[in-house]
Amino acid sequence: MTVAPGLKANEMVSNEIKTISGYKTKSNQYNNMCGYRAPILKTVRTGFVGVGNRGYSNLNQMTFLDGVEIKAICDIAQFRIDEAQQLLQKRGLPTAGVYTGSNDAWRGLCENPDIDLISIAVPRGPLHARISVYAMECGKHVAVEVPAVATVDEAWNIVETSENTMKHCYMMENCCYDFFELLTLNMARQGFFGDIIHGDAAYLHFQKIYEKTRDNDMWRLEESQYHNGNIYPTHGLGPVCQIMNINRGDKLSHMVSMSSDDFMLGKNVAELASSDPFYQKFNTDSYRGNINTSIIRTEKGRTIMLQHDTTSPRVYSRIHAISGTRAAAQKYPLPARISVGDEWLNEEEMKKVNEQYMPKIVKRIGDMAQEVGGHGGMDFLMTWRLIDCLRNGLPMDIDVYDAAAWSVITSLSQWSLSNNSRPIEVPDFTRGAWQGNQPVDISLSEGGNTSVKKSIN
């Protein structure tokens, strides 16, 4: 590699990364969607694209909220549509319109003029971005499951479309609404940790993704055949990015990534293929490594360690460790704990911290969220907050820049791995606006008036 005259070493790496990675850098921001207040929607008319496991759960959360009308559902599997309609009937709600019959039936739902918000829960890949862009172009706000995009170009596409249409592209990262993550975010806002130095984030979740699903849709296994790197980064990364004010005072600068070999998936699939012809097409030696570790540096000099592992047997963990100049926090292994100095706070001290710093959203909705369910209540907190923001014209906690920056780690980690773990820049999707954008406000100083239906069954 030849160094251009006058370039310092760090400039050489930066310029090379931009050329090799092939991503485009935009210079102009059409409209800043961070802090954007969309016109108030007194009633949020909602359509659902995908009502499988996650889509059905998202639909269920919505049925408990006043100020929401469920107008339509879309899925290619009739049994899922039937189950969704049965849920609406159980809740005493009107039957929803149905879009089905083809793989692009979602286009008709997006074009429906009687819908304000489209909830997207389809298998990961290009459909997340494709449906999100089309929905925004049709004048709808979007709530899309994680990760929001699969490539850097898709990330730029959702950013540009959101800015041009002035429609929210909200990524449904439920882990940002888990109670301890909200507690540590509020503590960071109030300076408890001092200056934030480092965060550990992960998605460590043993899943037998080679087992047949109810409809034989093996998208998780197929994804693991063709994509190395961190293919599911946002659960651990999102809460840490919010604590570090990423896109709102700091930004992700660059990263490196490294993966182990595959010691699990290929062997398990080969064994299954020996007795079941269904697995023959999955019997390859191209499976991604079992665990990926990526290191990210921010513009302000903070660091993040991010891991992904869904194949090796281990206890579930998102780690969620925060290190500051005054104190630290760590959620896993449970119970979640806070340390000041080199000792954990005792039970009585933790109780006082929870009383002082637990944010108002948990005190307002937490008990109801746990009653409704959904990953301990964080799903319901997320859904309630999304609808409350739309009904009060409030900025989104997770905007399109967050959706792009957190999700694009998948593509960038793959690039780094393919280039012997070399560093790669993270695009600045805000195009410099991060320097003036304000941190996420979880104080409920505005809004908070979306009521919850009393009957839960």
pLDDT at 79: 96
Query: How many independent structural domains does the chain possess?
Result: 1
Q: Which tens digit of pLDDT belongs to each residue from 137-192?
A: 999 999 999 999 999 999 999 999 999 999 999 999 999 999 999 999 999 999 99
50 belongs to a structural domain: no
**Residue range 203-221: average pLDDT?**
87
Q: Which tens digit of pLDDT belongs to each residue from 267-314?
A: 999 999 999 999 999 998 889 899 999 999 999 999 999 999 999 999
214 versus 6: the higher-pLDDT residue is 214
- Give the CATH number for residue 253: 3.30.360.10
Judge whether residue 5 has pLDDT over 50: no
Mean per-residue pLDDT over the chain, rounded = 92
Closest CA to 169 of 194, 140, 197: 140
Judge whether residue 454 has pLDDT over 80: no
Neighbours of 136 (CB within 10 A): 25
410 belongs to a structural domain: yes
What DSSP element (H or E) covers 372? helix 360-372
Provide the pairing of β-strand 196-204 with 303-309. parallel
Judge whether residue 367 has pLDDT over 60: yes
73 belongs to a structural domain: no
Q: Which tens digit of pLDDT belongs to each residue from 13-23?
A: 344 444 334 44
Judge whether residue 32 has pLDDT over 60: yes
| Backbone angle region of 448, left / alpha / beta, with phi > 0 → left and psi within -120 to 50 → alpha | left
pLDDT at 27: 63
List the domain range (segments joined by +) for residue 287: 175-358+400-435
pTM attached to this predicted model: 0.93
CA 233/CA 179 separation, integer angstroms: 20
CA 295/CA 304 separation, integer angstroms: 6
454 belongs to a structural domain: no
260 belongs to a structural domain: yes
Share of the chain above pLDDT 90, in %: 85
pLDDT at 26: 59
Q: Which tens digit of pLDDT belongs to each residue from 387-429?
A: 999 999 999 999 999 999 999 999 999 999 999 999 999 999 9
286 belongs to a structural domain: yes
- Residues 6 or more apart from 423 whose CB is under 8 A from it? 13, 17, 254, 255, 256, 416
251 belongs to a structural domain: yes
185 belongs to a structural domain: yes
Q: In the structure, what pLDDT confidence band is assigned to residue 125 with cuts at 50, 70 and 90?
A: confident
pLDDT at 9: 31
